[in-house]
Amino acid sequence: MMTTATSSASRPASRGLGADLLELLASMRFAVSLLVFICLASIVGTVLVQNQPSNNYVNQFGQFWFEVFETFSLYHVYNAWWFLLIMGFLVVSTSLCIIRTAPKMVRDMRSFREHVRENSLRSFHHRAEFASPAAPGRMAGALAELLKRQGYAVRTRTEGPATLLAAKRGSGNRLGYIFAHTAIVIVCIGGLLDSELPIRLQIWLAGKKPLFENMAIADVPASGRLGLGNPSFRSSVLVPEGGKARNGIVMVDDGALVQPLPFTLELKKFIVEYYSTGMPRLFASEVEVTDNETGEHFPATIKVNEPLRYKGVTVYQSSFDDGGSTLELTGYALRGGQPYTFPVSGKVGGTAQLVADGAPANDALKDLTVEFSGFRPINVENFANGRVGAAEPKALREHVAAVSGSAARVGQNEDFRNVGPSVQYKLRDASGQAHEFHNYMLPVDVDGVKVFLSGVRTNPDEDFRYVRMPADADNSLKEFLGLRAILQDPQARALAARRFAHANRMAAGSAADAELTAQLQASAERALDTFADGGLQSIARFLETNVSSGEQQRAADVVVKLLGGAMAELRAVERERAGLPALPTGGPEAAEAVAWTQAAVGAMSDLFLYPAPVVLSLKDFHHVQASVFQLSRTPGKNAVYLGCVLLILGVFSMFYIRERRVWLWVKPGQDGHGAQTLMAMTSQRRTLDFNQEFERLKADIAALPPQQKG
């Protein structure tokens, strides 16, 4: 029996784990794989809006996918731990690749490869031979001069009676690879410096703790403050006119850190100009900058795309906001049978008691607090054919979905118009529940009727839904709210129904039947009673209960006409009690009165779904502007610029500089007379241009006198 044995010495010695890891990190395939991951992450960061509040993502994707995306930090991809880790590995991998290959490339660039042999040259694809009666030395000199004139660097080596001319051109092509790879390293390092990595390192290693609750900057502990010499940060600050700021706020996930600044920024004046569409055309801040160390100060103007740069910090004009405007409002009660008003004062960003001293006691109001969240002095809405907020005629069932509609509906033809100031506030009850409201100060023309728009929503991600309450001749809500209040009076409703029936009997003349008139009065009074109990929603429920489905639409049309006529009479009763003149019964004024009553019916029906017992109307204001600045210290910016320059140079070198090498072996002729020349030429890329250049060089050598082609 014969056995075989394999000697361990016959196998290549296995390398250690460290050497294998080093080989992996330094491989080009690993670097390219990392680049692919970065590209994919960048696609996600481009498609998915970054750094938005969490509830925005929950509403958009749902709780399940929100948690999945949050696990991988897809909502802030560029500062995710795994993205920064990939960037770090890419820096290491590309650096090792450069360290390993750059010396070889530099040596190859400097080398003329003049130790090539004649037999090796004969194996080249691009080669040619020439014979000349000139002496070998003279021929070698002429060839060297020819190559130099064509931009080649030439090195000569003599080997016995033969002379080798080694020439090269375009060696800078190799620099392209070095520049491109170095650019990747520099850009990644710059990106890491300007990312959240320096701040997160301070959180992980230096004990910094983001703050998650509101507090005054003076009360922020040392753990919540970054150092004045923090190498890199991006922060924001809101400065009202006349206000000062010497700290920025750095957001870290859902928390914040305070970043002290080396200077104090005081906003002297904020300037804003608008396009006709209501979009800002220009906004700028006139500021005074005071050096915290020396006390020196100087004025500056900060505009969009024209930032302020001082002491390594760049201050950008980001946006603008309200700086704490003072507001005077009038509260209109929406419950009960007695209309009344009361004053409310406040400041944007502050809170106020809803019922002031001296206002009537009202259980529905006493537990409510108003929080003023916003104010806009200009609101440009899009009018289409002279209308804003216009809606198509609706059937009764469509009216039931009340408290709906936009403040401005976009039409085919754009006609933008400023509709004046608006105020935004929240009403919060004793349990902490709140609704947000958006009310315009001035009435807006909707379908030929001037109405006050009062929007409501339950959370910031919703659009406002607007109630349209008609304005009276004094451009106030007094008459509408008086009509709402008198609707709660049974005696007034009965009187209005009786007048409505009597007016119809008079219109019918002698043909009118007393019994039919009594039935009409009862029907009108029932319609008013049902409407007063819950608006058009109550009427819809009544019809669904008492009328067959096939007859409901016809019955609804009849009830809407009854209600419109009875409400017109109720408005007449209310005007009599208020001492106002009677409404005209003919002409355009009568049509306007009918349209006003129809708008009032829709608005009063909407108020049954309005989630507040009061509406606040803006009476006066003192506007205070505020500027929002972004402040950043970005030391990696210059590194990125340098990397971009190197990348451009590298790409240009790789694609537009072609390396060519030429060897000319010159030796005495076979009979000892003249010279015999062997030419060989090569390039990294054998393109059509290279073939043409080879043919031109052959022709130039053949044209050297005195010689003949062999």
Query: What confidence score (pLDDT) does residue 410 get?
Result: 34
Closest CA to 618 of 348, 270, 409, 321: 348
**How many C-beta neighbours within 10 Å does residue 662 have?**
24
Query: What confidence score (pLDDT) does residue 547 get?
Result: 83
**pLDDT reading at 596 higher than 80:** yes
Percent of the chain with pLDDT over 70: 89
Distance CA 674, CA 646 (A): 50
CA 518 to chain centre: 65
The residue written with tokens 């740069």 in the block is 309
Nearest 5°: phi and psi at 402?
Answer: -80, -175
Distance CA 702, CA 577 (A): 119
Distance CA 575, CA 508 (A): 26
**Residue 384 pLDDT grade (very low, low, confident, very high; cuts 50, 70, 90):** low
Q: What is the mean pLDDT of residues 588-606?
A: 91
Query: What confidence score (pLDDT) does residue 551 get?
Result: 83
Strands 449-457 and 444-446: antiparallel
Q: Are 464 and 407 in contact (CB under 8 A)?
A: yes
In this predicted model, what pLDDT tens digit does every residue of 488-501 receive, in sequence order? 999 999 999 999 88
H or E element at residue 380:
strand 380-383
**pLDDT reading at 272 higher than 50:** yes
The contacts of residue 111 (CB under 8 Å, 6+ apart) are none
Q: What is the mean pLDDT of residues 221-225?
A: 92
In this predicted model, what pLDDT tens digit does every residue of 628-642 receive, in sequence order? 999 999 998 889 999
Listed range (24-28, 288-292, 306-310, 477-481) with the worst mean pLDDT? 24-28
Q: Are 633 and 510 in contact (CB under 8 A)?
A: no
Distance CA 336, CA 489 (A): 10
Distance CA 673, CA 571 (A): 129
**pLDDT reading at 255 higher than 60:** yes
H-only helix segments in 311-395: none
Helix, strand, coil percentages (3-state) for the chain, rounded to 5, are 40, 30, 30
Beta partners for 676? 131, 667
DSSP letter (8 states) at residue 397: H
**Residue 6 pLDDT grade (very low, low, confident, very high; cuts 50, 70, 90):** very low
**pLDDT reading at 412 higher than 80:** no
The contacts of residue 107 (CB under 8 Å, 6+ apart) are none
| 3-state DSSP of 549-581 | HHHHHHHHHHHHHHHHHHHHHHHHHHHHHHCCC
Listed range (42-56, 285-299, 463-477) with the worst mean pLDDT? 42-56
In this predicted model, what pLDDT tens digit does every residue of 289-312 receive, in sequence order? 999 999 999 999 999 889 999 999
Query: What confidence score (pLDDT) does residue 225 get?
Result: 93
Closest CA to 494 of 506, 486, 484, 505: 486
The contacts of residue 686 (CB under 8 Å, 6+ apart) are 125, 126
pTM of the model: 0.68
Q: What is the mean pLDDT of residues 248-261?
A: 90
**Residue 393 pLDDT grade (very low, low, confident, very high; cuts 50, 70, 90):** very low
In this predicted model, what pLDDT tens digit does every residue of 319-367 receive, in sequence order? 888 888 999 999 998 888 888 888 899 999 899 887 655 455 556 677 7
Sequence letter at residue 320: F
**Residue 277 pLDDT grade (very low, low, confident, very high; cuts 50, 70, 90):** low
**Residue 276 pLDDT grade (very low, low, confident, very high; cuts 50, 70, 90):** low
Closest CA to 614 of 363, 358, 283: 363
Query: What confidence score (pLDDT) does residue 459 get?
Result: 83
Listed range (158-167, 573-582, 666-675) with the worst mean pLDDT? 666-675
DSSP letter (8 states) at residue 635: T
Sequence letter at residue 291: D
Query: What confidence score (pLDDT) does residue 377 get?
Result: 87
Q: Are 237 and 631 in contact (CB under 8 A)?
A: yes
Distance CA 436, CA 451 (A): 20
Residue 660's SS3 state is strand
H or E element at residue 689:
helix 688-702
In this predicted model, what pLDDT tens digit does every residue of 200-209 receive, in sequence order? 889 888 889 9
